[in-house]
Amino acid sequence: MSDKAAIPPSPSEDDYVRQVAAAEPPPLLSAQDPFALFAEWMKEATAKEPNDPNGMALATVDETGMPDLRMVLLKDAGPDGFVFYTNLGSAKGRQLVANPKAALLFHWKSLRRQVRVRGLVEPVTAEEADAYFATRARPAQIGAWASEQSQTLPDRLALEKRIAEIGLKFGLGKVPRPPHWSGFRVRPEAIEFWRDRPFRLHERLVFERVGEGWTTQRLYP
């Protein structure tokens, strides 16, 4: 039995009227470069979102075609695409190698905005992965060696033991990037910018890749 009391009710007409009265209608979204618009939105999210403004949902599919979804952190974004890093032996790592397509979702609750991305996936270069790994805190670097991500963990002690062993192995020296740890770049074929509007009449602007450029269209909410 579901606990309906725990689910917020839909806004009433009075709720919407108050929202309209309190909000200054923004101009319609308009841009030729989706990455410039994304950078603008990310900058605002970084200033206003309380936790992990670079958090994004990553959707993949397994070998049976069953969708899989989890949160990861965006580490780079630009005309080449959206980059994140992971253990290549993890579920998402294996799935992306087998089927290099993915969807991303950024949801900034404080701004009432979201961005959806769909595209093809490719590995980052070893140089890119090395450069990013070198910026990570040392405990996170050791954790990347110690964790057999997505594999069965007998108990917490097993992980703590591996962390201690890896720490002793590298001592005070530099921790190199593990061969099983790298990144992926999602090269978008489509990017949708969504902005909340009263009465569920949201604004949706979609960019679709055509050759080296983009077409744009607006969608019904």
User: Which pair of tokens denotes residue 2?
Assistant: 């579901």
CA separation for the pair 174, 42 (Å, rounded): 33
User: Which pair of tokens denotes residue 105?
Assistant: 């979702």
Dihedral sign, Cα of residue 128, residue 131, residue 135, residue 140: positive
Is 200 one of the annotated active-site residues of the chain? yes
User: Which pair of tokens denotes residue 28?
Assistant: 């319609």
CA separation for the pair 34, 54 (Å, rounded): 17
Q: What is the CA radius of gyration of the chain?
A: 21
Per the DSSP assignment, residues forming a β-bridge with 57 are 71, 105
The single residue of 18, 112, 116, 200 carrying the catalytic annotation is 200
CA separation for the pair 194, 192 (Å, rounded): 6
Per the DSSP assignment, residues forming a β-bridge with 115 are 106, 193
CA separation for the pair 53, 200 (Å, rounded): 24
Q: Exposure string (b/e) for 69-80, b if CB count within 10 Å is 16 or more?
A: eeebebebbeee
3-state DSSP assignment of residue 52: coil
Give the residue numbers annotated as catalytic, written as ranges: 200
